[in-house]
């Protein structure tokens, strides 16, 4: 492993790598200097000396905020040899990551953007529809910042995703006002379906096609200044993805898309905005939904379902409690306004 914790003189760095021909994974090193041509030569020499390199991590942005060295590595590697890329504190103004990955779309299996500051929805859409071997795709917003990593559902559902091999998926999605809080007149099943449900159904149908999925983390975006009735700032865990955990009932005129996820037989962890107490009327999580999850997600070990004020005692509803008793090892996660504090299972 080569770490980028300390600055290394470029000449020394390039001469060292000839001793590591079997290297497959590394942190992109820090190179002092502002000459982009020299940075490209450094990347070229290292890649040439390490022909088996297939996994890169970029954790230090202080000396390469423009990501020139990181992208130089991707450009220097042979076509379709990159399998894994991890970026910390990634930020872009245009679709830079799309251009950088264009030579590796057939090989890349894992893309992780940790503490992401800004990424365009066009870049995310491009990666999802152009990379057919993706197994891990994770974008987590930078904590404590107005991180611009929110993805409108429409941008995620324009085209079918290229890969159905996903095992881990983490996204932060934006619901427009009617998708998040549909009016009373929009809450009933109809034929044709209400227009506001189109992107929701397409998104859930796309998720349901990922039959190898083990870890699903879907968060609803929240305005950074939004507060709840208790005065606390709202967070993803105070929201709920509309209808995702609700079973449709046409006889009762009830909307819901949980059945679209019936093929997620390998699902082990279910994180994100699935607060049962925040579900709108007619989208409640009841015994039918609990029974369905027990029958269709037999490997489930973790599900995030509760958020309560700090002075409120946690108690599982009967439907949720029935899941815990019937799914061995299931942990139901409860949260206060801050960090997780309690689990049942």
Where do the structural domains in the chain lie, given as residue ranges? 1-55+69-78, 79-173, 175-190+201-345
Quickly state the pLDDT bin for 321 (edges 50, 70, 90).
very high
Distance CA 30, CA 64 (A): 8
Cβ 161 vs Cβ 132: under 8 Å = no
Mean local confidence (pLDDT), 228-236: 61
Q: Who has greater pLDDT, 58 or 150?
A: 58
Q: What integer pLDDT is reported at residue 4 of this predicted model?
A: 44
Q: What is the pLDDT of residues 18-53, one digit of tens each?
A: 899 999 999 988 776 667 787 888 889 899 999 999
What pLDDT does 342 receive? 40
**Given this model, what pLDDT does residue 205 score?**
95
Structure tokens at 200: 């929701």
Give the Å distances, CA to CA, from 60 to 20, 44, 70, 77, 212. 22, 20, 10, 20, 33
Cα–Cα–Cα angle for 141, 143, 149, rounded to 5 degrees: 20
Please give the angle made by the CA atoms of 138, 148 and 69, to the nearest 5 degrees. 65
Q: What pLDDT, on a 0 to 100 scale, did the predictor assign at position 340?
A: 40
CA distance 86 to 170: 14
The bridge status of strand 269-272 relative to strand 168-174 is unpaired
Q: What is the pLDDT of residue 186?
A: 52
What is the pLDDT of the chain when averaged over all its residues? 83
Place of tokens 């030569």: 41
Under 8 Å between Cβ of 307 and 212:
no
Is the pLDDT at 288 greater than 80? The verdict is yes
Per-residue pLDDT for 187 more than 60? no
Q: What are phi and psi of 224, to 5 degrees?
A: -65, -20
Of all residues in the chain, the percent with pLDDT exceeding 90 is 44
CA pair distance 160, 296, nearest whole angstrom = 24
For residue 57, the surrounding DSSP H or E stretch is strand 55-58
Question: pLDDT digit string (tens) for 154-176?
Answer: 899 888 999 999 999 999 888 77
User: Average of pLDDT values for 252-258?
Assistant: 85
Asked if 112 contacts 136 with a C-beta cutoff of 8 angstroms, the reply is: yes
What's the mean pLDDT in 119-135? 95
pLDDT grade for 145, boundaries at 50, 70 and 90: very low
- List 56's β-bridge partners, or say none: 26, 85
Whole-angstrom Cα distance, residue 229 to residue 220? 19
* pTM given for the model: 0.87
């Amino acid at each position: 492993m080569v770490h980028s914790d300390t600055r290394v003189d470029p000449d020394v760095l390039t001469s060292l790598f000839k001793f590591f021909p079997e290297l497959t994974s590394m942190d992109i090193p820090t190179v002092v200097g502002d000459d982009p041509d020299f940075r490209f030569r450094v990347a070229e020499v290292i890649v040439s000396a390490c022909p088996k390199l297939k996994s890169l991590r970029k954790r230090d942005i202080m000396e390469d905020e423009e990501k020139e060295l990181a992208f130089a590595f991707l450009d220097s590697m042979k076509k379709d040899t990159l399998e894994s890329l991890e970026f910390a504190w990634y930020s872009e103004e245009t679709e830079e990551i799309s251009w950088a990955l264009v030579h590796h779309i057939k090989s890349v299996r894992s893309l992780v953007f940790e503490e992401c500051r800004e990424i365009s929805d066009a870049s995310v859409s491009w990666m999802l529809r152009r990379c057919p071997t993706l197994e891990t795709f994770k974008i987590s917003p930078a904590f404590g910042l107005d991180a611009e990593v929110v993805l409108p559902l429409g941008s995620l559902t324009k085209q079918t995703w290229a890969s159905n091999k996903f095992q881990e998926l983490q996204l932060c999605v934006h619901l427009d006002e009617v998708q998040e809080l549909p009016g009373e007149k929009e809450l009933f099943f109809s034929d044709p379906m209400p227009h506001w449900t189109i992107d929701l159904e397409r998104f859930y149908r796309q998720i349901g096609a990922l039959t190898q999925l083990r870890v699903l983390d879907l968060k609803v975006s929240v305005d950074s200044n939004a507060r709840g009735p208790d005065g606390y700032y709202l967070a993803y865990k105070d929201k709920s993805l509309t209808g995702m955990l609700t079973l449709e009932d046409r006889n009762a005129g009830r909307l819901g898309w949980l059945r679209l996820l019936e093929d997620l037989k390998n699902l082990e962890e279910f994180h994100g905005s699935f607060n049962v107490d925040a579900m709108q009327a007619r989208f409640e999580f009841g015994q039918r939904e609990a029974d369905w999850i027990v029958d269709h997600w037999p490997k489930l070990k973790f599900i995030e379902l509760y958020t309560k004020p700090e002075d409120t005692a946690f108690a599982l509803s009967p439907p949720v409690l029935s899941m815990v008793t019937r799914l061995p090892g299931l942990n139901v996660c409860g949260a206060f306004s801050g960090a997780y504090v309690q689990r049942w299972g």
